[in-house]
Amino acid sequence: MNEFLEIIKNRRSIRSYQDKQISDSDLEKIIEAGIYAPTSMNQQKWHFTVIQNKTLLDRMVHSIRENIMNLKIPFLSERASEPGYHTFYNAPTVIVISGEDSANSIQIDIGLAAENIALAACSLDISSCVITSSGFLFAASEGEQWKQELGIPSGYSHICSLALGYKKGENPDAPPRNKEVVNYIK
Instruction: List the strands of the sheet with 46-51, edge to edge.
Output: 46-51, 93-100, 156-165, 127-131
End-to-end CA distance of the chain: 25
Restricted to residues 22-61, the positions that interact with ligand FMN (CB under 6 A) are: none
Burial class of residue 99, CB neighbours in 10 A (0-12, 13-18, 19+) = buried
For position 133 contacting ligand FMN by CB under 6 A, the verdict is yes
Q: How far apart are CA 90 and CA 15, in angstroms?
A: 8
For position 110 contacting ligand FMN by CB under 6 A, the verdict is no
For position 16 contacting ligand FMN by CB under 6 A, the verdict is no
Q: How far apart are CA 7 and CA 9, in angstroms?
A: 5
For position 94 contacting ligand FMN by CB under 6 A, the verdict is no
Stretch that binds ligand FMN, among 55-63, 125-133, 146-154, 178-186 (CB under 6 A): 125-133
For position 176 contacting ligand FMN by CB under 6 A, the verdict is no
Stretch that binds ligand FMN, among 17-25, 33-41, 50-58, 127-135 (CB under 6 A): 127-135
Query: Which residues are at the interface with ligand FMN (CB under 6 A)?
Result: 12-13, 15, 129-133, 160, 174-175
